């Protein structure tokens, strides 16, 4: 195992040394910049299908898209001016590429470069998209770095918020032209398929008097007349779907970054809503069950009670105090967990709620639920010891082990998801840290003032 890790590390070091030698001799960013300035109007190919695949990336932008931070740092160290390079086909700079591919480390690396950053954030690409629009473009999205649709949606919202903070405020109202270009592409496809229908329908009697098709406007009266044999019916179904898509695209106007983000993340939002509802319902049911058990245990104390006074018989036993405290904590934490999950179920599930509010509630609900399970099992172990009065150490250890078995299984199964959700509490912790120093400062200042006044009095 160690030998394999050592071999992988040596390969990584050797590859990076080779990359450093190649970076010194690399001039692709300069060549592409010259081509972009001289042949700026020759970015469109004759074949619309090949235009999308005509992305020519320099080594810097290629390393940015794949997330190789070491190579990006080395290129910018050797050639700082390479940060201003843009792709010749789409006019993307390093920020466009980093945001589209969700490369957070490279985004923060470029963000530290104050002078180039002022120019990079204002760059608008060939589709009239700002860098904020690229958060809503899902072409290169691969599911994010966190598990579950809720965390993935929260990660996307965090991307949108961090990019929004660095752009000029009026860029939030800028509208891109992606929809119009997509509609034009659909129009080319539809006219080609309309010509195909006319060609296939030509031998039939029903289509001999049909004039040639010159556009989409002539497509609707043609389809009912010619969709008679099997081949024409297949073409009719395909082109009807394309017509619906075309009409949908052309009916929409250019979009702001917020509108584009809401549209492209609608499916992820729906999936996150369904997952959160199912999880909250299941967890609230478990929490209610634990609360019921804890409430019943409070009225059926181990060992029973004195019939004359009503005082528990085992009140003086130290484990009775353990049982009482654990049972109260179990009831309180389980009911708090129920409240958290009910607040989730009654929320409107809007897109903005998934950035902070809903993940925080779910994290707190998980925390209280896990704590209630743990203290319930401790109360169970204390009850067994009170009733049986075990003297041997190994028997007591065995009981504690059996009591903590469900807690351990629950922790192992839910801990990865719980750790992922714990990152949602960072925002609250930052707010607390901002408030606490000021309070501590005021408290220390008050103490110093009080002490000084006492000394003056003396």
432 alpha carbon, distance to own chain's centre: 24
For the cut 70, the answer to whether the pLDDT of residue 323 exceeds it is: yes
Which pTM value belongs to this model? 0.67
pLDDT of residue 289: 92
Asked if the model's pLDDT at residue 281 lies above 90, the reply is: yes
CA–CA distance from 91 to each of 27, 60, 97 (Å)? 19, 15, 10
Task: Give the number of other Cβ atoms within 10 Å of residue 36's Cβ.
Answer: 17
Residue 373 pLDDT class (50, 70, 90 cuts): confident
Report whether pLDDT(453) > 50: no
Rounded-to-integer distance, Cα 28 and Cα 433, Å:
47
What is the pLDDT confidence band of residue 25, given thresholds at 50, 70 and 90?
Answer: confident
Instruction: Name all domains of the chain by residue range, CATH numbers in brackets.
Output: 8-172 (1.25.40), 178-250 (no CATH), 269-427 (1.20.140)
Distance of CA 54 to the CA centre of its chain: 29
Using pLDDT thresholds of 50, 70 and 90, give the confidence band for residue 381.
confident
Longest Cα pair distance anywhere in the chain, in angstroms? 118
Specify the pLDDT at position 90: 84
Residue 39's pLDDT is what? 42
Per-residue pLDDT at 314: 65
Confidence of residue 288 (pLDDT cuts 50, 70, 90): very high
- Evaluate if residue 343 carries a pLDDT over 90: yes
Cα–Cα distance measured from residue 95 to residue 140, given in angstroms and rounded to the nearest whole number: 14
Torsion of CA 108, 114, 120, 122, to 10 degrees: 110
Higher pLDDT, 11 or 211: 11
Distance CA 120, CA 114 (A): 10
Q: How many helices (H) and strands (E) does the chain have?
A: 19, 0
- Top pLDDT among 24 and 271 is at 271
Handedness of CA 104, 110, 114, 119 (dihedral sign): negative
Given a cut of 50, is residue 94 above it in pLDDT?
yes
């Amino acid at each position: 195992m160690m030998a394999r890790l050592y071999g992988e590390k040596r390969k990584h070091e050797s590859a990076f040394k080779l990359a450093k030698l190649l970076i010194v001799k690399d001039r692709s960013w300069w060549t592409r910049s010259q081509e972009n300035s001289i042949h700026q109007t020759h970015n469109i190919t004759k074949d619309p299908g090949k235009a999308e695949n005509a992305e020519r990336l320099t080594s810097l932008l290629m390393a940015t898209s794949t997330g190789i931070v070491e190579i990006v740092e080395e290129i910018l160290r050797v050639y700082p001016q390479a940060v201003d390079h843009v792709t010749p086909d789409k006019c993307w700079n390093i920020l466009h590429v980093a945001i589209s591919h969700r490369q957070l480390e490279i985004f923060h690396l470029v963000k530290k470069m104050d002078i180039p950053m002022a120019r990079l954030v204002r760059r608008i690409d060939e589709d009239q998209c700002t860098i904020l629009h690229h958060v809503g473009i899902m072409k290169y999205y691969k599911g994010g770095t966190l598990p579950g649709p809720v965390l993935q949606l929260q990660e996307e919202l965090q991307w949108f918020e961090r990019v929004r903070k660095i752009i000029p405020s009026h860029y939030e109202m800028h509208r891109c032209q992606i929809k119009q270009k997509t509609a034009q592409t659909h129009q080319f496809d539809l006219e080609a398929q309309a010509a195909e229908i006319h060609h296939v329908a030509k031998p039939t009697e029903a289509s001999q008097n049909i004039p040639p098709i010159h556009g989409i406007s002539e497509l609707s009266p043609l389809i009912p007349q010619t969709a008679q044999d099997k081949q024409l019916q297949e073409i009719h179904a395909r082109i009807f779907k394309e017509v619906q898509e075309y009409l949908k695209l052309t009916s929409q106007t250019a979009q702001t970054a917020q509108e584009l983000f809401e549209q492209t993340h609608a499916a992820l939002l729906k999936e996150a809503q369904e997952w959160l509802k199912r999880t909250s319902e299941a967890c609230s049911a478990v929490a209610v069950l634990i609360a019921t058990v804890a409430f019943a245990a409070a009225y059926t104390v181990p060992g029973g009670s004195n019939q004359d006074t009503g005082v528990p018989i085992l009140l003086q036993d130290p484990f009775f105090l353990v049982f009482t405290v654990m049972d109260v904590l179990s009831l309180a934490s389980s009911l708090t967990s129920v409240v958290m999950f009910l607040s989730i179920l009654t929320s409107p599930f809007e897109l903005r709620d998934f950035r902070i509010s809903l993940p925080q509630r779910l994290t707190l609900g998980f925390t209280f639920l896990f704590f209630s399970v743990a203290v319930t099992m401790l109360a169970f172990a204390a009850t067994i010891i009170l009733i049986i009065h075990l003297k041997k150490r190994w028997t007591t250890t065995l009981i504690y082990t059996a009591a903590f078995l469900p807690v351990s299984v629950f922790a192992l199964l839910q801990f990865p998801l719980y750790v992922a959700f714990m990152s949602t509490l960072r925002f609250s912790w930052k707010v607390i840290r901002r408030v606490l120093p000021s309070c501590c400062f005021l408290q220390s200042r008050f103490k110093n003032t009080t002490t000084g006044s006492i000394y003056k009095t003396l």
